[in-house]
């Protein structure tokens, strides 16, 4: 039994890395699946929407036992990517990201269904070789220092006040609980301690916020903090 638990744990970690590789290959931030579903409920119904928090937990192997609905949601997203009709999107950046997405397919070209996503999650099926995690490419454990440095660099590059930047950052994490939001605020503004399990959420926030800053109409980087 311990060996089985260890194997399933390793499979979850590999699945998370595979999901991250797929997202990045599509040019997506972690909120893209959720934003697409919200903008086009006729393409991805509300009950089959993958939230950004759920996606982050899957990527970081934080869900010990995923519910069957998880694999139905991933399959619905994948099926939407396999269709030429991806809905009417008014947001130019979201439209570009959705257009760049590619489905995960079986050898015969048909998109993965719920059973395929589940088989991959438990280690019985591998995804496409170009996206499948390779030995030695595991991410190093996250530390606050580099994440905070990244945050401060974005603040400086976009000429933002730290508190304004923090509000923007936290607005990218609508699925975060109040406790995690306060924890991130304390870590970034007051050098307070942060739990290791909160670090992946902070990394996800930074990725999403940076993408929003880059994709939004350019603000004057010459603006000085008052």
Domain assignment of residue 76, yes or no? yes
Assigned domain for 109 exists? yes
Mean pLDDT of the chain: 87
- Tell me, yes or no, whether 47 and 12 share the same domain: yes
Q: Please state whether the predicted TM-score (pTM) of the whole model is above 0.85.
A: no
In a domain, 202, yes or no: yes
Q: Is residue 135 part of a domain?
A: no
**Regarding predicted confidence, which is higher, 125 or 225?**
125
Q: How many domains does the chain have?
A: 2
In a domain, residue 69? The reply is yes
Per-residue pLDDT band for 136 (boundaries 50, 70, 90) equals: low
82, 111 contact by CB (below 8 A): yes
Residue 191: what pLDDT? 80
Given a cut of 70, is residue 219 above it in pLDDT?
no
Is residue 86 domain-shared with residue 179, that is, in the same domain? no
Q: Are residues 165 and 106 in the same domain?
A: no
Are 12 and 82 members of one domain? yes
- Alpha carbon distance 76, 151 (integer Å): 34
Q: Are 88 and 30 part of one and the same domain? A: yes
Q: Is residue 195 part of a domain?
A: yes
Report helix angle 52-59 to 2-25, nearest 10. Answer: 120
Give the pLDDT of residue 102.
Answer: 97
Contacts of 67 (CB under 8 A, 6+ apart): none
Note down the domain range covering 172. Answer: 144-215
- Do 148 and 113 share a structural domain? no
Same domain, 54 and 149: no
Specify the range with the lowest mean pLDDT, choosing from 21-30, 56-65, 133-142. Answer: 133-142
Percent of the chain predicted with pLDDT > 70: 91
Domain boundary among 121, 156, 184: 121
Looking at the fold, whether 112 and 154 belong to one and the same domain comes out as no
Please write the tens of the pLDDT for every residue from 159-212: 998 888 999 999 988 778 888 888 899 889 888 888 888 888 898 899 889 988
Are 172 and 68 in a shared domain?
A: no
Same domain, 164 and 97: no
Cα dist from 59 to 50, 125, 180, 214, 222, whole Å: 12, 17, 18, 23, 36
Last residue of a domain, one of 121, 156, 182: 121
Those residues with Cβ within 8 angstroms of residue 58's Cβ, 6 or more apart along the chain or in another chain: 15, 16, 19, 66, 70
- Residue 138 belongs to a domain: no
The last residue of one of the domains, among 121, 155, 181, is 121
Residues 32 and 95 in one domain: yes
In the numeric block, the tokens 């089985």 are attached to 4
User: Taking residues 83-94, what's their average pLDDT?
Assistant: 93
61 in any annotated domain: yes
Residue 137 has pLDDT above 70, yes or no: no
């Amino acid at each position: 039994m311990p060996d089985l638990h260890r194997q399933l744990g390793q499979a979850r970690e590999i699945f998370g890395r595979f999901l991250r590789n797929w997202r990045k290959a599509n040019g997506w931030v972690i909120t893209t699946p959720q934003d697409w579903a919200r903008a086009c409920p006729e393409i991805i119904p509300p009950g089959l929407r993958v939230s950004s928090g759920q996606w982050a937990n899957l990527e970081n192997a934080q869900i010990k036992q995923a519910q069957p609905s998880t694999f139905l949601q991933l399959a619905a997203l994948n099926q939407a990517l396999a269709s030429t009709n991806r809905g009417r999107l008014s947001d130019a950046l979201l439209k570009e990201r959705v257009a760049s997405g590619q489905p995960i397919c079986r050898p015969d070209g048909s998109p993965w269904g719920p059973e395929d996503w589940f088989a991959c999650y438990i280690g019985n099926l591998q995804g496409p070789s170009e996206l499948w995690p390779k030995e030695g490419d595991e991410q190093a454990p996250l530390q606050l220092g580099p994440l905070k440095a990244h945050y401060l660099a974005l603040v400086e590059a976009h000429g933002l006040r730290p508190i304004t930047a923090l509000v923007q950052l936290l607005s990218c994490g609508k699925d975060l609980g109040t406790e995690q939001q306060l924890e991130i605020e304390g870590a970034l503004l007051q050098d307070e301690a942060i739990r290791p399990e909160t670090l992946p959420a902070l990394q996800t926030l930074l990725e999403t916020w940076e993408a929003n800053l880059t994709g939004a109409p350019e603000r004057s980087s010459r603006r000085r903090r008052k």
